[in-house]
Amino acid sequence: MTLKDWARKKSIWVFDVNAASCNGCDIEILDAFTPRYDVERIGVVLVPSPRHADVLLVTGTVNAMMKDRLKTIYEQMSEPKYVVAVGACALGGGVYKGCYNVGHGVDKVIPVNLYIPGCPPRPEAIIFGILKLVTGEPPDPKEEE
């Protein structure tokens, strides 16, 4: 393991985007930063700007209004970057599946590295997902294409 890989595994800065979610998932993401779960233990920090972030956490179904904005945010992040879809909505529409006014998942808009299911997922699941992302070599959707 080189020094670079070590640093990337120990320091994960996340940026959280609410792309038309019901806010349930966002509250669970913030839960992971509270004293009970405290993801700063494993080096996760919530950063204010997407340009600082390594991991983009996207919640919600990504409707027509958020689509371009999500793309802009994704393009502002610097490589190496990862995208994590959090919650059933971000995976494929969730409870809103089939509605005329919603999107059907984050991976229709930007490449996703990891999916965390649940409506909303528990903070444990989110922590597990982030750990899996950095230690378990997640599949890279950009290479598969």
Partner 1 sequence: MQLLQLLVFPGLTFFVWIAFAFEWLERKTAARMQGRVGPMIAGPFGLLQPVADFLKLASKEQIIPKHSEKFVLTWGPPLYFAAPAIGIIFIPVIGNESIIGHPLDLLFVLFVLAFSTLMASLLGYSAAGRYSTIAVGRLVVQYTSYEIPLILSVISPAILAGNLSLGGIVSAQSNYWFILSAPIGFAVFIIASLAELEKPPFDIPSAKTEIVGGWMTDFSGNALAYVKLTKNLSYVFLSALAVTLFLGGPNGPVLFHQIILQYVMNTIYFMVKLFSVGFLIFVVKTALARIRIDQAAELFWTILTPLSLAQLGLVILLR
Report the largest interatomic distance among the alpha carbons of the chain, rounded to a whole angstrom.
Answer: 49
Q: How many CB atoms lie within 10 A of CB 13?
A: 14
Pairwise CA distance, residues 44 & 144, whole Å: 27
Residue 78 touches partner 1, criterion: CB under 8 A: yes
Is the CB of 8 or the CB of 108 nearer to partner 1?
A: 8
- Shortest Cβ distance from residue 28 to ligand SF4 (Å)? 7
Residue 10 touches partner 1, criterion: CB under 8 A: yes
Residue 30 touches ligand SF4, criterion: CB under 6 A: no
Residue 143 touches partner 1, criterion: CB under 8 A: no
Site residues for partner 1, window 102-121 (CB under 8 A)?
none
Helix (H) or strand (E) holding 35: none
Pairwise CA distance, residues 6 & 110, whole Å: 27
Residue 79 touches partner 1, criterion: CB under 8 A: yes
CB 24 within 8 A of CB 123: no
Which of partner 1, ligand SF4, none does 89 bind, CB closer than 5 to 8 A by kind?
A: ligand SF4
Is the CB of 43 or the CB of 92 nearer to ligand SF4?
A: 92
Report the alpha-carbon angle 30-63-67, nearest 5. 90
Q: How many CB atoms lie within 10 A of CB 3?
A: 7
Which of partner 1, ligand SF4, none does 49 bind, CB closer than 5 to 8 A by kind?
A: partner 1
The contact set with ligand SF4 (CB under 6 A) reads 21-22, 24-25, 59-60, 87-89, 94-95, 119-120
